[in-house]
Chains A and B, each alone.
Chain A
Amino acid sequence: MYAQMVKTDGTGVKDRAEMSADEQAFQDRIDRGEKIEPKDWMPDNYRRTLIRQIGQHAHSEIVGQLPEGNWITRAPTLERKAILLAKVQDEAGHGLYLYGAAETLGVTRDALTEDLLAGRMKYSSIFNYPTLNWADMGAVGWLVDGAAIINQVALQRTSYGPYARAMVRICKEESFHARQGFHIMMKMARGTKEQKAMAQDALNRLWYPVLMMFGPSDKDSVHTAQSMAWKIKMDTNDELRQKFVDQTVQQIEYLGLELPDPNTKWNDETGQYDYSDPDWTEFFDVIKGNGPCNVDRLAARNKAWDDGKWVRDGLMAHAAKKTAAKLAAE
């Protein structure tokens, strides 16, 4: 997901007997479905975990601009260019909303940005994969945004108010992203021989990286239980992944493309699709910084930030001069 393997400091759920009175009251509020707001009392660990999770989510949106931004100047028609640009712009907006939510927890956006740029904070593994042909713009919208939406729709009910409200806004805007992606895929899958080949290539390349977005298998996810108790994670990794596979297989068949995983089969007993696990060694390599694009992605973000410093400082200095002049005039 856009936030993968978010650490909760402890291991497993804190037992009620070990909780302080404040912690018990806090957990009771969450269990009653109340929202936690910025000035409310909250356990330090809840605050730290949320900063990590929302920060990682925000970073994913910002780094996520790059693989799609890679095709803005090569979009095949004026309309496709406008749609893609509007979509990548939305991602900047979503990053902005999420940083705003994180800032209510007492951290600044610049501090989070510096953590990203120094490699101290992560972003979703998916954005370390390249976009190589135009159908990738379809596949990213359809599959990557499609996978993200499954998680984000659930997160609209998360316990932290500002995060939940950001998710509501994001989900509302996001609804066009997956649809425009699928629309590109339909055009490609029904287009020329070359276009169909592009569509299949994009699907094959992105399938397993998209499955990895949901994070490691539940049995390897030590932090899930505490995050779920706090309602900052609403479903387990495997539940979300299964939901994604179940809805996507039919869409692949509708497009008339081949399933990238030959082991994908409907299972009458479980009432869901069986599928092959992604290569988790590759996933951990990407997380550690060894994905195909990790170095380029961080370098691009660092360059934008470093090159932009004089602009941020210049406009700030001008604002200070204006304020000083106004005060002097009074």
Chain B
Amino acid sequence: MDKDLFQYLLRLGDNTLVLGHRVSEWCGHAPVLEEDIALANTALDLIGQTQLWLGLAAEVEGAGRDADKLAMLRDIWGFRNLLLVELPNGDFGRTLMRQFLFDAWQVINLGRLMKSSDPRVAEIAAKASKEAAYHVERSADTVVGLGDGTAESHARMQAALEYLWPYVGEMFVGDDVDAALVAAGVVPDPASLREEYDAFVGRIFATATLEMPESRFTHKGGKNGAFHTEHLGHMLCSMQWLQRAYPGASW
């Protein structure tokens, strides 16, 4: 059970770790100052959530690691994030579309985790869900604004959606880890979130005049660590460099 919980917490923590890292890459390069500041806020929330989820993961694991050791000293096969969040930023439209696709799931999933039978999980979910609620409001607004903006912004958002859509399904694919925790009432069944998700994002895409792709094909391999994209390794090269180059130093 603790082994499964550890895996599940890595999934949550790695999602926010990797996405927070990606979003932080925008700092100083966003289209306008107000967006630069807003993106940094999102990244900061995600990094904060990472500290909580990975902190709890380390505690559950009980092997003397902490959140930083988990973040900085695992190699690519140890990561359990969704493939969606490790994809490169692309243009601002793709970044915001990825953010929206993630936020929409995150806010639903955290809502269920707030009712977890494990109070530690419920507590972190309660804190994170307030942040996620703001994230999804903002990213949905931006998806609508750019989808229903100029011809160029519309085309870019539609292209972003089509590029990212095949990575959405992984959120809803369950495995043995999920099954064990679902049975214990710790986490929701991933598949059970899909209907609400599709209804919500469908509503936003309609307002945004974007066409939701019909295909249900999904890439997978992130949340169980079997098959990450090539992009994650390059990210780890930057993220983990100092800890790898100077082992044991205190920063």
A residues whose Cβ falls under 8 Å from a Cβ of B: 62, 65-66, 69, 72-82, 85-86, 88-89, 92-93, 95-96, 99, 134, 184, 187, 191-192, 194-195, 300, 303-305, 307-319, 321
Contacts and interface: CB of A to CB of B under 8 A. Distances in A.
A98 to B, nearest CB: 11
Given A134-B251, A192-B246, A304-B29, A313 B150 contact: yes
Contacts of A73: 21, 24-25, 235, 238-239
A93 B67 CA distance: 30
B246 A311 contact: no
A315 B142 contact: yes
A85 B27 contact: yes
A111 B29 CA distance: 19
A304 B31 contact: yes
A325 to B, nearest CB: 11
A93 B31 contact: no
B33 A62 contact: yes
B230 interface: no
A89 B150 contact: no
Interface string B148-170: 11101110100000000000000
B148 A321 contact: yes
Contacts of B2: none
Contacts of B249: 76, 191-192, 194-195
Contact of A310 (B33, B142, B152, B238): B152
A312 B51 contact: no
Nearest to B46: A82
Contact of A89 (B37, B54, B149): B37
A308 B32 CA distance: 7
Nearest to A192: B249
Nearest to B148: A318
B71 A307 contact: no
24 contacts: A69-B27, A72-B25, A72-B27, A78-B54, A78-B68, A81-B24, A89-B27, A93-B37, A96-B34, A134-B242, A191-B249, A192-B248, A195-B246, A195-B249, A308-B31, A308-B92, A310-B150, A310-B152, A311-B35, A311-B153, A314-B145, A314-B146, A314-B152, A318-B149
A145 B145 CA distance: 37
A89 B249 CA distance: 27
B51 A318 contact: no
B47 A81 contact: yes
B61 interface: no
Q: For A88, A303, A317, which residue has the most chain B Cβ atoms within 10 angstroms?
A: A317
B182 interface: no
A116 B44 CA distance: 29
Contact of B32 (A76, A303, A312): A312
Nearest to B50: A78
Contacts of A93: 37
Interface in B37-56: 37, 40-41, 43-44, 47-48, 50-51, 54
Interface string B76-110: 00000000000000011100000000000000000
A145 B40 CA distance: 20
B132 to A, nearest CB: 17
Q: For A82, A96, A195, which residue has the most chain B Cβ atoms within 10 angstroms?
A: A82
B47 A85 contact: yes
B60 interface: no
A314 B149 contact: yes
Nearest to A194: B246
B4 to A, nearest CB: 24
A317 B149 contact: yes
Given A72-B24, A82-B48, A315 B239 contact: no
A300 B149 contact: no
A307 B31 CA distance: 7
Given A85-B24, A315-B145, A321-B148, 6 more contacts: A66-B28, A79-B51, A187-B251, A309-B31, A313-B149, A314-B150
